[in-house]
Amino acid sequence: MFKCFGAEALGVSSGSSEVIELSLSHGFKGVSLDVRDFSEQVKTHGLPKARRLLDSSRLKIGTFALPLDCEADDETYARELAQLPAFAELAKSMLCTRALVWIEPASNERPYHQNFAFHCQRLAEVAGKLAPAGIRLGVGIRAAADLRTGRAFQFVHAYDALAMLLGMVQAPNVGTIVDAWDLVASGGSLETLSKLTADKIVAVQLADASAEAVEQGWPSTSRLLPGETGLIDTAAMLTWLAKLGYDGPITPVPSPASLSGMRREAVAKKAGEQLDKIWKAAGLTPAGKLAPVAPAPVAQPAPAAKQAPAPKPAPVSKPASRATSKRW
């Protein structure tokens, strides 16, 4: 596993050179790719120049947000779907093989069963466009209750329902975005994810929450940096992922409101520090592996008590000779 700097997730709006500098300065080993913006840079400057800074930084490219709206009308969706292979090949050239998309938790257009069939079809089509470039599609949920308010029809917003949906998508390159905050907000736990294998986890996102978030019904604005309160045990999630063999990006994703008024440098610094804290609490090495546990010392048997030597027998007196014996 590796620490991934998501500029958009942290509310950092700046050029690629500054994002790279912030990532390197605060302990991140990877960055997320804005594939649309990068595509424009390639058109303007050519691929070698557009990728030069990333190559020299030696940062990994963790993920890219799918440049397509799965909820769009048929015409818009068809146009964006046709453009997807070019984006996929560009991401592949940067060794970025993880595309991410999130399901809207409610709809005004389609009842649950129709929306289920609608997403099965579209996710399968999208995965099919990504597959030739070796790109995996990670699908995530939005568990915050306020995102469903005022909508006519509820839809998938918990991990057990997502597992059912993805099980119906006929595409081997489709997997799950594991988000610690969404997992807890939807009433789940690590046990909920027990059937996931490492190859079906495309990306991992971490956030913490306050006690007020629970009382307020987990609003979408209540995401904090991981490890800020400990209400969500993100260290335990990292330990579980390491045991599972997951080797992908770990991205902190707080809500913008929790970082309001902070400068970019301060945001990156705090995010890096919080990740470092839970990394150590999870018992991970800098490379994201479980640190080897030194074997407990084997107790040595106590030395046997030395026995006191047996007393020597008293010498036996020899009878004196007649010539020297004394008389009384």
Residue 130 within a domain: yes
| Residue 245 DSSP one-character state | T
Q: Is 313 a domain residue?
A: no
For 183-202, b/e burial (b = at least 16 CB within 10 A) is: bbbbebebebbeebeeebbb
Residues 6+ apart with CB under 8 A from 154: 105, 106, 112, 148
- Left (φ > 0), alpha (ψ -120 to 50) or beta: where does 105 sit? alpha
What is the CATH number for 30?
Answer: 3.20.20.150
pLDDT of residue 328: 32
Q: What is the pLDDT of residue 275?
A: 97
CA nearest 220: which of 105, 75, 74, 84? 105
> How many domains would you assign to the chain?
1
Q: Which of these, 87, 100, 124, lies nearest to 248 by C-alpha position?
A: 100
Residue 67 carries which side chain, given as an amino acid letter?
P
Tokens of 108: 């005004």
Give the pLDDT of residue 12: 84
Task: With beta carbons less than 8 A apart as the criterion, state whether 34 and 317 touch.
Answer: no
Q: How many CB atoms lie within 10 A of CB 106?
A: 18
Closest to 118 in 3D by CA, of 92, 149, 152, 156: 156
Mean pLDDT (10-residue bins), the chain, 328 residues: 93 83 95 94 93 93 95 96 97 96 96 97 97 98 94 96 95 97 96 95 97 90 95 97 97 92 92 96 93 71 60 51 36
114 closest CA partner among 153, 141, 151:
153
129: containing domain: 2-281
User: Token pair of 65, please?
Assistant: 């947000």
Do the domain assignments include residue 231? Answer: yes
Specify the pLDDT at position 98: 98
Amino acid 311: pLDDT:
58
* pTM exceeds cut of 0.85: yes
Q: What is the CA radius of gyration of the chain?
A: 32
**Token pair listed for 4:** 């991934």
- Gap between the Cα atoms of 158 and 105, Å rounded: 9
The separation between the first and the last C-alpha atoms of the chain, rounded to the nearest angstrom, is: 105
Please tell me the distance from the alpha carbon of residue 80 to that of residue 70, in angstroms, as a whole number. 9
Residue 290 belongs to a domain: no
